[in-house]
């Protein structure tokens, strides 16, 4: 009996040692871990996405066209999701393409005109677009993004298979760019626009980045969150809340979301 008790105790002790094993640099604070991942994934997304824009603009058609930007930004988002924000990759893109940008514009950094380069980093409206039209454009574009993302993550609908989620999200961004991108560049994310805009104001483009387009800068900052809430609300109202009830057995068989802990509610 004593041997049995000792064996059980050793087994428990062994399991405990396995459970508490952590990498040397493991962070206990979940918020810190999530924040660092968010920094990195956003940085990668912006470097690759803005890099596509810089290559198309400075290459003057030799290294791609509008479709290249759409596909490139979509794949950049996919890789950002796969890695993981809130660090702007505009600084890195500016450093990499510094000479190409100056060669393209002759060292004259402008926001508007035939050789404008500020649009490499932030979004600006087409000449015909009013502030109201642009506001509606941003709301609708972001609403479409969130509506699609809600569908892709709805476990009671037809969610994307775990490993295909990043690519699927990237394809959604490509689709939005190809269908709703020509008016103002489909920011669909306030961080994607405001951080590079502030950088360009400091890097030499000046305060014209805020004056251009009749003060366009605030539209992506305000309209995109509204669009996000609208898109998510529409999906909940028209789809999620109308799912048929499921039995307890079916509910238990629904696959867990990525990173979800089955013991969280115990």
If you average pLDDT over each of 77-81, 97-101, 152-156, 256-260, which comes out highest?
A: 97-101
Predicted pLDDT of residue 150:
93
pLDDT bucket at 26, cuts 50 / 70 / 90: low
pLDDT of 12 > 60? The answer is no
Predicted pLDDT of residue 243:
86
pLDDT of 81 > 50? The answer is yes
pLDDT of 233 > 70? The answer is yes
Of 11-15, 101-105, 147-151, which gets the smallest average pLDDT?
11-15
pLDDT bucket at 176, cuts 50 / 70 / 90: very high
**Predicted TM-score (pTM) of this structure:** 0.77
Predicted pLDDT of residue 85:
45
Q: Which domains does the chain have, with CATH numbers?
A: 30-244 (1.20.1080.10)
Question: The tokens of 72 are what?
Answer: 């490139």
Predicted pLDDT of residue 5:
44
C-alpha 64/C-alpha 98 separation (Å) is 19
The closest alpha carbon to 91, from 8, 191, 6, 200, belongs to 200
Helices (H), 158-247: 165-180, 190-200, 208-215, 218-238
Stronger pLDDT, 258 or 94, i.e. the higher one:
94
Please enumerate, as own/partner, the contacts of 239-243 that have beta carbons within 8 Å and a separation of 24 or more: 239/150, 239/151, 239/154, 239/157, 240/150, 240/154, 240/156, 240/157, 243/156, 243/157
C-alpha 246/C-alpha 248 separation (Å) is 7
C-alpha 161/C-alpha 220 separation (Å) is 31
Q: Average model confidence (pLDDT) for the chain? A: 83
């Amino acid at each position: 009996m004593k041997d049995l008790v000792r064996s059980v105790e050793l087994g428990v002790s062994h399991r405990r040692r396995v459970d508490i094993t952590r990498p040397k640099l493991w962070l206990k604070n979940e918020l810190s871990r999530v924040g660092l991942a968010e920094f990195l994934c956003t940085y990668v997304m912006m470097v690759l996405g803005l890099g596509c824009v810089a290559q198309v603009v400075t290459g003057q058609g030799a290294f791609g066209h509008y479709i290249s930007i759409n596909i490139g930004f979509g794949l950049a988002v996919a890789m950002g999701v796969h890695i993981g924000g809130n660090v702007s990759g505009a600084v890195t893109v500016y450093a990499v393409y510094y000479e190409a940008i100056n060669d393209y514009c002759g060292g004259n950094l402008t926001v508007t005109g035939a050789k404008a380069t500020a649009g490499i980093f932030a979004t600006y409206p087409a000449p015909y677009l009013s502030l109201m039209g642009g506001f509606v454009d941003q709301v609708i574009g972001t609403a479409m993004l969130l509506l699609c993302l809600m569908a892709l993550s709805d476990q009671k609908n037809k969610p994307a298979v775990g490993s295909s989620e990043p690519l699927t999200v990237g394809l959604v961004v490509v689709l939005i760019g190809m269908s709703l991108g020509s008016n103002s560049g489909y920011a669909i994310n306030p961080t994607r626009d405001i951080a590079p805009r502030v950088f360009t104001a400091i890097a030499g483009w000046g305060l014209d980045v805020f004056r251009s387009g009749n003060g366009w800068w605030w539209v992506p900052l305000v309209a995109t969150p509204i669009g996000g809430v609208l898109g998510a609300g529409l999906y909940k109202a028209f789809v999620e809340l109308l799912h048929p009830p499921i039995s307890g057995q079916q509910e238990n068989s629904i696959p867990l979301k990525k990173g979800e802990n089955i013991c969280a509610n115990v």
